[in-house]
């Protein structure tokens, strides 16, 4: 979903923002959303959102994609802005190297799965989300993603055409271990 086709998806954008809120904010972070929604300066017209919904419309999983060439005011994309010191609560050393700025590289952040899913249900939802990611990579001509993800995402990407490698240190935040990764497509 993008700003150019958001009107075709009814309430999905709001549901994505609502679904990701309980999975995103450590208790010591400032709440960037409004009400029950998680929304920040990187949810811009340049971004794309992927979501898997249940038959009754609940968001089971979602993530945000932003081109590494994005610019919105003083902001570019989250990992790069952290490295530049623009994000007070995010470490500058998330990546081992300089954050990329390249048309074929997009950032993947705000990935989440609905809490309480287990076993086969969780595996199916993860598989469908990565399938959407693979399709989006082809459509948008994305060669790789720089991603801030839970450390257990390494095993997810193996089920698809992604080569994944750690690209930064593990960062413990809100009881979760996050790490920057590079996901190369195909």
What residue segments make up the domains of the chain, in order of their start? 6-185
CA–CA separation, 44 vs 30, rounded Å? 20
pTM more than 0.85: yes
pLDDT of residue 26: 46
**6-185 — its CATH code?**
3.40.630.30
Using one digit for the tens of pLDDT, what is the confidence trace for 87-108? 988 899 999 999 999 999 999 9
């Amino acid at each position: 979903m993008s700003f150019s086709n958001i009107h075709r998806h009814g309430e999905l954008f709001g549901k994505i923002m609502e679904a990701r809120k309980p999975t995103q904010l450590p208790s010591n972070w400032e709440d960037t959303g409004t009400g029950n929604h998680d929304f920040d300066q990187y949810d811009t017209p340049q971004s794309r959102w992927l979501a898997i919904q249940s038959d009754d419309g609940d968001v089971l999983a979602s993530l945000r994609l932003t081109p590494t060439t994005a610019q919105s005011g003083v902001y570019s994309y989250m990992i790069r802005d952290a490295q530049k010191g623009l994000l007070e609560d995010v470490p500058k050393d998330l990546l081992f190297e300089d954050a990329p700025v390249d048309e074929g590289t997009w950032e993947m952040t705000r990935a989440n799965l609905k809490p309480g899913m287990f076993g086969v249900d969780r595996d199916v939802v993860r598989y469908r989300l990565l399938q959407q990611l693979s399709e989006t990579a082809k459509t948008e001509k994305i060669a790789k993603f720089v991603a801030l993800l839970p450390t257990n995402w390494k095993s997810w990407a193996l089920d698809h055409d992604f080569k994944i490698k750690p690209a930064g240190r593990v960062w413990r935040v809100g009881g979760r271990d996050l790490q920057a990764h590079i996901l190369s497509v195909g």
